[in-house]
Amino acid sequence: MTQQQVADALKVKHPAVNQWETGKTYPSTDNLFALANLLGPSILNWKEQGEADNSVTAPAVGSTGLVESNVEYEQGPFRRPRVTGPHDIEELGVTMGGDGEDDAAFEMNGQVIDRVKRPIGILDRKNVYALRVTNTSMWPRFKHGVRVYIEDRPPAIEDHVVIELKPTEEGRPGKSFIKLLTAIDSRKITVEQYNPRGILEFGRHEIKKVWRVIPDEELRGDA
């Protein structure tokens, strides 16, 4: 099978396949699974940097052994494309505890402290950022120190969200909270906290922005 045949099977252009091999670009989630259907499910188990042995193998029908692939490429051995994205998502700095009076709050200080890996399920998604949870108010769902990915997209009821409030002190960011969205109307947003269990309400006039927390299944490409 040539690169052109792979391109024809996936209905993409020939140069796209070549760029996947060289790591210049990355296949979308749909194209990655189409490659798995074409070349075998082992394509989903590549190393993060796209390095692996050059032979593509798949289980023989009715056998537990492996057989050599009959796939050959016109430009030499096929280099498997990366299955994780580039380190291009900005991780936002946060300060624990807000003003010290609310253990469930943190402050998004506006600084970009790192660029982190883009998960496979959001390769094509825009306006995505990362941050670290800085308290245990949503334990056990979100542990202290865990990284979450947030996006600038309207959330749905039962989505986890990061609520960023407007500043109340000059020169200082407003408090932020990670919570479960349970209700929303023109006047207020209602959320649930896990630890300790409770319900909180925020007036719409208090809120600067509501970020949607991207669920794990979307990050993996399962949704």
The 10s digit of each residue's pLDDT in 121-153 is 999 899 999 999 988 999 999 999 999 999 999
Residue 77: the pLDDT is: 54
Tens of pLDDT along 155-168? Answer: 999 999 999 999 98
- At 1 the three-state DSSP class reads coil
- At 96 the three-state DSSP class reads strand
HSE toward the beta carbon, residue 146, CA cutoff 13 A: 16
Q: Which residue has the tokens 């990655």?
A: 32
Residue 62: the pLDDT is: 42
Residue 81: the pLDDT is: 55
Radius of gyration (Cα) for the chain, nearest Å? 22
What structural domains does the chain harbor? 3-67 (1.10.260), 87-220 (2.10.109.10)
Specify the pTM: 0.64
Cα(223)–Cα(215) distance, integer angstroms:
9
Averaged pLDDT for residues 39-44 = 59
Residue 102's pLDDT band, with cuts at 50, 70 and 90, is: low
Q: Bridge partners of 130?
A: 91, 149
Q: Chain centroid to CA 106: how far?
A: 22
% pLDDT > 90, the chain: 43
